[in-house]
A and B are shown apart, each in its own frame.
Chain A
Amino acid sequence: MDIVSDDELTRFIRPKQKRYVTADGGVRTAAFSTGSDGKVSVFVTSDMLLNEIWDHGDAHFPHETIGRAYLQAQVVISEGLEIDFNNEPPKHADIIGFPSDKDLNLAKRQALAVKAKFEKR
């Protein structure tokens, strides 16, 4: 499956990640921080109804999803990052290609957070 620019990407937010959301419903830069594998895990949720999205989150994080950060694939692409759609689990993709330079890496993550929106469950 090819990801197109207007595809919607969802990053499920769980209790351990509660600080990834601002008090007024924004998404913090930390929400897009990369772990040891250098990837940010997302799901492609284009054309899904909201209840379907929550069900999908429940399938992978049972009883854990407290909300979601979502953004258009275009935001990721315009930052020079890539979306690796692997469909494992279904609809799963990784945002990859983050620079190794720590400051530029932070700038890229920040740009994703600026454009992302939060939806509380």
Chain B
Amino acid sequence: MSGFCVECEPLSIGDVSFGVTDVAMKFLNCFQGDVKSHTRSVTAPIRKIEDILSELIEIQEECSDDNWDDEGAVAISISAMFEAMQFIRLLPVHLKLPDIAPSANGAINFEWRKDDFICNVELSGINEIVYSAYFSKVNRDYGMKPYFGKIPNKVIELIESMS
């Protein structure tokens, strides 16, 4: 697992012994300053970053074991959760925040929609970002790139197209 917040006390393997929530909350607390700068207008019906971070913790806890869906799903790892938290933090503020869901392949799935267009990003905690945008049956854009704490411009562009 790579470092996620250079301004904060680094997480150590030993942190895991306090439980996922403790570690995640420690990570979450690192964001407090950033959360304010990312928070959208309170009048806008858009979820706040802190709500999404909390939901990510919830998802990891609910899906931490293999077969969490009783259909053979792969567990959502702590690394995937941290990577997803970092991704949310790195999203430029002008972008719409995504909906999130656990994927049976062990990834956190981010989703943006605009009319019949849809854009997905998946992170599995293994330093790669998988993305796909669907504009029509014959107009799609998808790919996979290394992910080391910087969202690829291509992914930003696709998310922007959903705004």
- A16 contact set on B, CB distance < 8 A: 62, 68-70
A19 close to B105 (CB less than 8 A): no
B-contact 0/1 string along A1-44, CB 8 Å cutoff: 00000000000001011011010001011100111110101000
Question: Is the Cβ of B104 less than 8 Å from the Cβ of A33?
Answer: yes
Say what secondary structure dominates the interface of chain A.
helix
Q: Across the interface, do A33 and B109 meet the contact criterion of CB distance under 8 Å?
A: yes
Contact A113 B104 (CB under 8 A): no
Within 8 A of B (CB), among A77-94: 78
Q: Which residue of A lies closest to B72 (CB)?
A: A35
Please judge, given known A-B contacts A35-B71, A111-B134, whether A103 and B142 are in contact too, CB under 8 Å.
yes
- Taking a contact as CB atoms under 8 Å apart, the answer to whether A103 and B72 are in contact is no
B36 within 8 Å of A (CB atoms): no
Known: A19-B102, A28-B111, A30-B111. A102 touches B74 (CB 8 A): no
Chain B: number of interface residues, binned into ranges:
35 or more
> Are the CB atoms of B99 and A28 closer together than 8 Å?
yes
A110, CB-defined interface residue at 8 Å: yes
Residue-wise interface mask of B (98-111) relative to A, using a CB-CB cutoff of 8 A (1 in contact, 0 not): 01111111010101
Asked whether B144 is an interface residue with its Cβ less than 8 Å from the other chain, the reply is: yes
Residues from chain B with a CB closer than 8 A to the CB of A114 are 116, 118, 134
A22 to B111, alpha carbons, bound, how many Å?
A: 10
Which residues of the other chain, B, contact A33 by a CB distance below 8 angstroms? 73, 103-105, 107, 109
Is A96 close to B, CB under 8 A?
Answer: no
| A111 x B137 contact (CB < 8 A) | yes
Which of B70, B102, B137, B142 has a CB less than 8 Å from the CB of A106? B142
- Find chain A residues with CB under 8 A from B50 CB: none
Measured between alpha carbons, how far is A102 from B14 in the docked complex, in Å? Answer: 32
Q: Which residues of B contact A39 (CB under 8 A)?
A: 72
Bound form: Cα–Cα A65–B129 in Å: 32
Contact (Cβ within 8 A) B109 A107: no
Residue from A16, A101, A102 whose CB has the most chain B CB atoms within 10 Å: A102
Restricting to A101-121, which residues have a CB under 8 Å from any CB of B?
A: 101-104, 106-107, 110-111, 113-114
A12 to chain B, nearest CB (A): 10
Contact present for B111 and A34 (CB under 8 Å) = no
Q: Hey, which chain B residues are within 8 Å of A17, CB to CB?
A: 69
B132 — which chain A residues lie within 8 A by C-beta? Answer: 103, 106-107, 110
CB distance from A115 to the nearest CB of B (A): 9
Is B91 an interface residue when CB atoms closer than 8 A count as contact? no
10 A-B pairs besides A26-B113, A107-B134, A110-B118 with CB distance below 8 A are A16-B62, A28-B101, A29-B118, A33-B109, A35-B67, A35-B74, A36-B66, A103-B131, A106-B131, A111-B140
